[in-house]
Chain A
Amino acid sequence: MKPITRLHSRTAVLADENIDTDRIIPARFLTTTTREGLGKLCFHDWRYQTDGSDNPAFPLNRPEARGCSILIAGRNFGCGSSREHAPWALLDYGIQAVLCSEIADIFRGNALKNGLLAIVIDELEHRWLLKHPGIELAIDVREQFIALPDGGRIPFALEPFARHCLLHGVDQLGYLLQHSDGITFYEQHHQEQAA
C-alpha cells in the first residue's frame, strides 16, 4: 500500500442512509477471482439503466460529481456483507475517501486496509456536508482534520494503528509475520483446542 498523508478533492454526495454492500457491488458480480477492474461494476444497479446507459437520477452521474474522489454518504454506509469487493470497487471507481457520521464496522476495517479513507465525522458536520455537495475539501491524515474552503476545520478520530499504517504504507501482514515467535509461544502454551 502507498503511504497516504493528504487527499484533496471536491465532494460528491450520496445522501441515502444504510447504503449496503449489495448496492456498492451487487452479489452477482462476486464470481471474480481477482481484485482488479471492479470500478465499472461499482453501484451497478443504481448507476446504469436497464439498457446499460447511465442513469441520470444517480447522483454520481451528474457532471459536477465526475472526478470527485471524496464521497459524503448517508449514515451507516457499507452495512451488510464482509466482501472486500466493496472497497476494491469504490477505489477502482475513483473514490478515495468516504465521510459519514457512522460507517459499518467490517466495511471500515476493509476500507482502511486498502487505503480507502473511511472516516467517521460528527453528526452536525456530516449533515452540513451532505447539504453542500461539490465543495473542495482537504483531508489531512497526519493531523486528523478536514480543511474546509473557508479555513474551517473538522477534526476526526482515527484508530492510531490504522493511521500509522496509512501514513507509512505499512503492510499489516508483514507486521503480523514479525510476531511469529509470539504466535508459536502462544500455540505451545495454550491448551490446544481441537479444531
Chain B
Amino acid sequence: MAKTLFEKVWDAHIVAAETADTPAILYVDLHLVHEVTSPQAFSELRERGLKLRRPDRMLATLDHSTPTLPTNADGSRPYANADAQAQVAQLESNCREFGVELHGWDSADRGIVHVIGPELGATQPGMTIVCGDSHTSTHGAFGALAFGIGTTEVGHVMATQCLLQRKPKTMAIHVDGHTPAGISAKDLILHIIGTIGVDGGTGYVLEYRGAAIEALSMDERMTVCNMSIEAGARAGLIAPDETTFEWLKGRPRVPQGAAWDVAVATWRALRSDDGARYDREVRIDAGAVKPTVTYGTHPGMAIAMDAPVPAATNAQERRALDYMQSKPGQPMQGTPVDVVFVGSCTNSRLSDLREAARVLHGRRIAQGVRMLVVPGSEAVRRDAEREGLHHVFTDAGAEWRVPGCSMCIAMNGDLAQPGQLVVSTSNRNFEGRQGKGARTVLASPATAAASAIAGRIADPREYATQEQAA
C-alpha cells in the first residue's frame, strides 16, 4: 500500500504496536537536551536509581538561560540571575554524572539546540528525534519525525529510549508555484499559519510538499518546519532530496565513505509514495505570498504588511489588538519600531544573517532603535565573522552577540521593556514573550533589517542591495 513519508518513519520505529487500550511504543533515535526542561527528569532518574539507556543517542547544549554578552573581565559570565546560572551548572553536572555529550561553554559547536543538531549531522532523514522543546519540529526539514515532549517524557526517553504515542493524523500542505523574488521562507510560513490558523494543525503531522517547497534551501526548510508547532501541529516534515543529501554530506555525525552511499539510498526511498493518502490536504499558492508580519498575539494573526489589519470579531481578538495597539483598517507597514531582534532557531542561520546584512550593508539603523543580532551557533558566528557580516551589523549600529535563544524567550536578560514594539525573526508573539508588556511583530530577517533602518515596519524590497543601488 502506498505510504506517506510520515508513515514510513513511524512504522520503522515501532517497538510495540498500538492497540485499542495502549499507545504504541515508539523508539527514539536522537534525544536532544537543554538546560530548561531536563533538570527534573535527571532528578527523577536519580531518585529511582535508573541509568540512561542510550547516552550515545543524546546530545546536550546550553542555549536558553545563557547570556549572549561576552564574559566579564574576571572571566565570569553575565548571567541574568543566580537561578539561570544554577540551571546551567546543573546541566553541566548532570551530563558529567550521566555521561552525556554536552556542547557547553568550552565547545566550538555550542548553540541553539535546533541549530546545532543539523550542523553536526546528528539530525538525519528517517530518524525519530525528540527534545523537551516544541520547536523540535525544525528537524523535520530533513525528513525526520521530530517533535517536542514534556519533561516527564524526557525522563521516559532517558530511561527507555522510547515514548508512548498514539499515531497522529497526517496533513499535506501543497505549496504550488513559486515564491516571488524578495519573499522569504519566513513570509511563506507566516502566510501558511495565517491561512490554516493557530490551531489548524492540531492533531496532525504536516508534510510540506510541492514545487515551492522543493525549491527551498535547507535553511529555508528549517524555517518552515520550525513553525509547524505554531499551527498546533505535532511535527512538520519535508521529503529528503538531493538538496538534503548535499547539505548533510561530510558533516561530523553522518555516515562516511561507502556507508554514506548506503544511507542515501535508504533516505531516497523515504519520500511519500504516489497515491499515498493524507487525512487532510491544503493548497497554498506561493505566488500570492507577500512580506508578511503578525498584528496580534499569536502567530495565526498574520497578514501581508501592506494589507489592512482586520477588525476584531470577538473579545479575544479585541484584547489582542489592544495589547498590540494595532489599528483595524490600517496596515502594519509604517508602525514605529523600538527594538529589532534577528535570531532564534527560526532565523539565526548563516543565510538569515546574510539576508539581514544585505539590507543593512552601508546603512545605519534609525535613531532610537535598538537592534540585536544573535547567531544560532558558534559555527554560524564563525562563518559570519569570516564573511565580515558582524562588521556590517556593528557599522549599522546593531549589537552582535554570542549564540543563544536570547530575546526569542527573554529568559537570559535580553528583553524588551513594557510597551516597546519588537520586530522579531523568532516564532512566538505571545503576550509578554519578549518581556512583560512587550509587543512582538514576527517577520523575516530582511523585513527586520529594513524596519531597523526605517524605524518603522518596512518592506525590504524597497531597500535594494548595495550593488543594485549603485
Contact = CB atoms under 8 A, between A and B. Distances in A.
Interface of A: 15-18, 20, 22-23, 26-28, 30-35, 45, 74-76, 79-84, 87, 102, 104-106, 109-110, 113-114, 159-161, 164, 172-173, 175-177, 179-180, 182-183, 186-187, 190, 193-195
Contacts of A75: 199
Contacts of A183: 15, 25, 27, 53, 160-162
Contact size range, B: 35 or more
A105 B300 CA distance: 17
Given A76-B198, A106-B134, A82 B150 contact: yes
B83 A161 contact: no
Given A18-B316, A22-B428, A179-B25, A31 B150 contact: no
Interface stretch (B349-357, B389-397, B430-438): B430-438
B80 to A, nearest CB: 8
B166 A80 contact: no
20 contacts: A16-B315, A18-B298, A30-B411, A33-B39, A82-B149, A84-B37, A84-B132, A84-B151, A113-B152, A173-B155, A173-B160, A176-B164, A177-B159, A179-B16, A179-B160, A180-B160, A183-B25, A183-B27, A183-B162, A194-B263
Contacts of A74: 316
A33 B86 contact: yes
B45 to A, nearest CB: 9
Contacts of B21: 160-161, 164
Given A27-B433, A28-B411, A183-B15, A76 B232 contact: yes
A33 B30 contact: no
A195 B156 contact: no
B310 to A, nearest CB: 15
Contact of B159 (A30, A81, A113, A173): A173
B12 interface: yes
B287 interface: no
Given A84-B151, A179-B15, A195-B122, A79 B433 contact: no
A183 B410 CA distance: 39
A182 B150 contact: no
B23 interface: yes
B265 interface: no
B348 interface: no
Given A190-B12, A193-B124, A34 B40 contact: yes
B387 to A, nearest CB: 31
A195 B57 CA distance: 6
A83 B159 contact: no
B159 to A, nearest CB: 6
Given A22-B431, A76-B199, A84 B152 contact: yes
A182 B13 CA distance: 12
Interface string B32-50: 0000110110011000101
Interface in B218-260: 232, 234, 253-255
Given A33-B40, A195-B29, A23 B15 contact: no
Nearest to A23: B431
Contact of B202 (A80, A83, A105): A105
B254 A194 contact: yes
Contacts of B65: 31
B1 interface: no
Given A34-B40, A83-B132, A179-B162, 19 more contacts: A15-B316, A20-B431, A23-B432, A27-B409, A33-B39, A35-B40, A74-B316, A76-B232, A82-B37, A84-B150, A84-B151, A104-B199, A172-B156, A173-B48, A176-B156, A176-B159, A176-B164, A183-B15, A183-B53
Contacts of B162: 176, 179, 183
Contacts of B253: 194-195
A22 B433 contact: yes
B411 A27 contact: yes
B298 A20 contact: yes
Contacts of A34: 39-40, 43
Interface string B426-469: 00101111001000000000000000000000000000000000
A27 B150 contact: no
